[in-house]
Amino acid sequence: MTIIDVKNLCVSINDKPIVKNLSFVIPEHQLTAIIGPNGCGKSTTLKAISRILPYTGEITFKNKNTKSFSHKEFARSLAVLTQSPQAPTDITVYDLVEMGRFPYRSFLGRQTEEDKHYVHWALEQTGMLEMRHRLLSTLSGGERQRAWIAMALAQNPEVLFLDEPTTYLDICHQLEIMQLLERLNKELGLTVVMVLHDLNHTLQYTNHVIVIKQGELVCEGNPKDVVDKELLRKVYSVLADEFACSNGLRALLPVDLIKQ
């Protein structure tokens, strides 16, 4: 079942077209990856769907035009983690996660018991409960990313958007974040949409992929059917080898650039 339907999406920045007549669907309760070369419009697409950037075209959430939602109503349905999010250096993990309850607060409203419940729950889900009194600035990269995911979870959203969630993390912490998102998807039924650069993460962890090049849709579908060495040749101008992994899935190893 489709939860978000994008039709003829166009986005321009400083009068330069970035996304051009893009149409695709995001399936409910699935892990979706948006992939493509640098500068192709992946992050712009994510921001347009999230109502961060203006656009033309039509985007519906559960068959309702996203422009018809109030800001708080939309934030209760969809949480967004942009690239390299910023917070005050002296904020604690708990206070950061509590910020995720903003869509449920009235003006000058105090924390309710429901707020406390969801903050505690989000900290538990991300393994950050024991670190709730730590300053965000003292955390490792992987811990900090889990804290930000906890903040998004505290919104109790139906959909979680993440823009390159494993950027700047080592291999261990990349897998930790990907496995956390996979678990949240399976155990909570959370719809997760990620901009990814690692195609092997796309193959290993996601159920649906949207491929963009120069602001236009190349294809979408099951990563097992879509992401292969031919896609790397066509979209990235890269030659690659394919390998069978011990878990039965495929992996791709780029070996050379295609001479233009």
Phi, psi dihedrals of residue 37, rounded to the nearest 5°: -65, 165
pLDDT at 89: 78
CATH topology of domain 2-227: Rossmann fold (3.40.50)
Can you tell me the distance from the alpha carbon of 186 to that of 175, in angstroms, rounded to the nearest whole number?
16
Full-prediction pTM beyond 0.85?
yes
Spatial contact of 52 and 37, defined as CB atoms under 8 Å apart: no
pLDDT at 84: 84
For the chain, the domains span: 2-227, 229-260
| H/E run at residue 47 | helix 42-49
CA distances 148 to 85, 123, 156, Å, are 8, 10, 14
pLDDT at 99: 94
Please give the angle made by the CA atoms of 51, 41 and 180, to the nearest 5 degrees: 70
Q: What is the pLDDT along the chain (260 residues), one digit of tens a residue?
A: 999 999 999 999 999 999 999 999 999 999 999 999 999 999 999 999 999 999 999 999 999 999 999 999 999 999 999 988 988 879 999 999 999 999 998 766 688 999 999 999 999 999 999 999 999 999 999 999 999 999 999 999 999 999 999 999 999 999 999 999 999 999 999 999 999 999 999 999 999 999 999 999 999 999 999 999 999 999 999 999 999 999 999 999 999 999 86
Spatial contact of 239 and 229, defined as CB atoms under 8 Å apart: yes
